[in-house]
Amino acid sequence: MSEDKQQRTEEINEEQQEDVVDQEVVDNPDQQVVEEDEANDEVEKLQQEKDELYQRLTRLQADYDNFRRRSKKERENDLKYKAQDVIEELLPAVDNFERALNTEIPDESAKTFVDGMNMVYRQLKDALEKQGVEEIPAVGEEFDPELHQAVMQVEDENFGSNVVVEELQKGYKLKDRVIRPSMVKVNQ
């Protein structure tokens, strides 16, 4: 009997162990699901953080590229229009030269002096042209508020409507920028 008892005791122990194992297997799936959920939440959180950092990096890179392009364009404009201030200061002198050279000279002896002044005027105009300065065409042209400043309106049958009739002061452009608009009379 003792053998039966011992065998019976071993069977009970095996059943208890199987119950414990079954309980652990039953308990472990819940715990495993919870751990998987926590791990998935952590992965999602890290993925979202990575996406936000990537977007931030992309924006910063785009900002830097825009800054670099803008700086390059500003440097190009600075070089392109570097002479603008000097040219704006010289334009009144050019206007005075033109007025002086348009006056009539009654004396023949002053003619050589006027010829010398005309040569200086031409040199000044050539230097301005080398820097990219050009006169804005006015008389007979369609009025353009970007290029012309209308100071008077007249009625002239020889010109069409909204056409420049007379130029009172020359206008100038430096390359593609208007540095002084032409002062003009416009036909109605």
Surface-to-core class of residue 74, CB atoms within 10 Å of its CB (0-12 exposed, 13-18 middle, 19+ buried): exposed
Contact between 112 and 145 (Cβ < 8 Å): no
| CATH of range 81-187; options 3.30.70.20, 2.30.22.10, 2.60.40.10, 3.40.50.150 | 2.30.22.10
Per-residue confidence (pLDDT) for residue 29, from 0 to 100:
57
In three-state secondary structure terms, 115 is helix
Q: Note if the pTM is more than 0.75.
A: no
Q: What is the pLDDT along the chain (188 residues), one digit of tens a residue?
A: 566 666 676 666 666 655 544 444 445 556 667 778 888 888 999 999 999 999 999 999 999 999 999 999 888 877 777 888 888 889 999 998 888 888 888 787 788 888 888 899 999 999 999 988 999 988 888 898 899 989 988 888 888 888 889 899 999 998 888 999 999 999 88
Per-residue confidence (pLDDT) for residue 22, from 0 to 100:
47
Distance CA 119, CA 49 (A): 74
| Host H or E run for residue 127 | helix 111-130
Domain ranges of the chain: 1-80, 81-187
Cβ atoms within 10 Å of 162's Cβ, excluding its own? 13
Distance CA 162, CA 131 (A): 32
